Amino acid sequence: MKKWCSNKIALDRFDLIELVKMLTKYKINVGTNYMIGFPDETKEEIEHTLNFAREMKQHGIDSVHFGLVMPVPGTPIFKYCRENNLLPEDYNPDKFQWTKANLVNTPVPPAELEKIRDSAWEEFNSEQFKKDRKSWAAKPPLVHTSS
């Protein structure tokens, strides 16, 4: 986290479990987001993230989201990916999709990352949340025909 995410949460100074307990006490819905698939991330490091999410879920998290890393042009991670041949030939930031692996030549292959992400989403979220989340997708417009 320190290398790629500028250490946004200082876990050594911040008790996330107590925060979650306080929020759930006041019936505030808590969702969390995790990123996996960093350029040099190993399967063991991903498992560490999944275990942390499991621990947080036990303390009252309502929904858990996992996204796959998307290196944005102009960022240090993008520069690193370019310099280390980690971007696919068809790389196009206009087509980012957080559920799809955006890097190649990583310690955990793209197809495996997507499988891990999909399995984690299924494991961590309730059936009701999954149903609700899927209902958020826009429906195609009705086609009207003239008679």
Asked whether the predicted pLDDT for residue 145 surpasses 90, the reply is no
Average pLDDT over all residues of the chain:
89
Band (23; pLDDT cuts 50, 70, 90) = very high
* pLDDT level of residue 118 (50, 70, 90 thresholds): very high
Separation between Cα atoms, residue 92 and residue 147, nearest integer Å: 43
Report in angstroms the alpha-carbon separations of 25 from 20, 28, 54, 64: 8, 8, 19, 19
Instruction: Give CA–CA dist 114/98, Å, rounded.
Output: 10
Place of tokens 């826009």: 138
CATH topology of domain 16-127: Transcription Regulator spoIIAA (3.30.750)
Residue 106 pLDDT > 60, yes or no?
yes
Q: Decide if pLDDT at 15 tops 60.
A: yes
